[in-house]
Amino acid sequence: MDVNTTEFSAPGKIILFGEHAVVYDHPAIAVAIDLRAKSSVSDSLKQISTISVPDFLPKKQFMLNQTPLPQNLTALKFIIDSFLENSEQSKNFDIEITSQIPPSVGLGSSAAVSVALVASLSSSLGNPLNLEDIFKLAHESEKIIHSVPSGIDTAISTYGGGIFYERGVTRELPFDFSSAYVVIINSLVRRNTKDIVEEVKRKYEKYPDSIKDIFNSIHSIVIEAEKALINDDIIEIGKLMSSNHKLLKDLGVSHDYLDMIVNVLDEKGALGSKLTGAGGGGCVISLFDDITKVKEAIEIMKEKNFQAFISNFTVDGVRNESN
């Protein structure tokens, strides 16, 4: 008996400018990268729906509504329940989530998974959602994981490309990085985005004037960065990345490893480097205009036991992978 299977994937992301401030209604700029999460939804021959996440929880299959799910899967169950409660069809699914995006390092893993799952489930039920509705439901699930997510991760996973994001509004920001290289360095320091965001919130409540000054400075950098990106002024982009990192360090969301990575890369000829995402660990992004320097930088990072690779951008957001 043939089993109907629907597959959708969604990209990870890097935030080029504006993280943390974006949670407080300031703008940010992000771009989709060519690491993707995939959701495969198959009609189940069993009497119950199941979900498996072999990249993160190998050899485990969870029976929905019977097996207690790990904390990191509760957001996915929210999505599944949202569909099944509102569907006139009584059918069960076998859901498999796979991902090329390392989790908890600032590359938008959870948002990509949520977006891919929303798209695949809605299509499997015969009522595919438009991009706006995919974004909305996936963003609701992100609130379970991150408490007060800005929405930028979900937006970039949904729409792809480069975006300017402010107060929930997404605007396409086309730019050409063909004259430069962006290297991603994973410090391999895992962290919890929700904890870091809540710590920033506590600082904001305790020292509102100081934190507002930092956010306003980041806001100004984002505005200048948009101009530099449109004009393909990679020298200015690099300078603004370095300035953004210093402000994030002042905010207290950097990490000794991240600062060390930034310093080493700057010494090796980077035009600019900064943490990306929530910070506290995770990844650094670095801009170069010379492939020889890129190769040297990647080799040095690997010698220090970090992961490092050239990031390729993608215009594709969520997409149908079904044959």
- Which residue numbers are catalytic? 153
In the chain, the N- to C-terminal Cα span, in Å, equals 18
Beta strands in the chain (DSSP E): 5-17, 28-43, 50-52, 62-63, 93-99, 162-166, 169-172, 181-186, 272-276, 283-288, 307-311, 319-320
**Cα-Cα-Cα-Cα dihedral sign, residues 120, 125, 128, 129:** negative
Amino acid identity, position 295: K
Q: How far apart are CA 65 and CA 279, in angstroms?
A: 35
Q: What is the DSSP secondary structure assignment for residue 243, as one 8-state letter?
A: H
CA distances from 72 to 109, 242, 268 (A): 12, 33, 38
The answer to whether 106 touches 282, Cβ cutoff 8 Å, is: yes
Which of 160, 182, 181 has its CA nearest to residue 170?
160
Tally the C-alpha atoms within 13 A of residue 139's C-alpha that lie toward its C-beta. 17
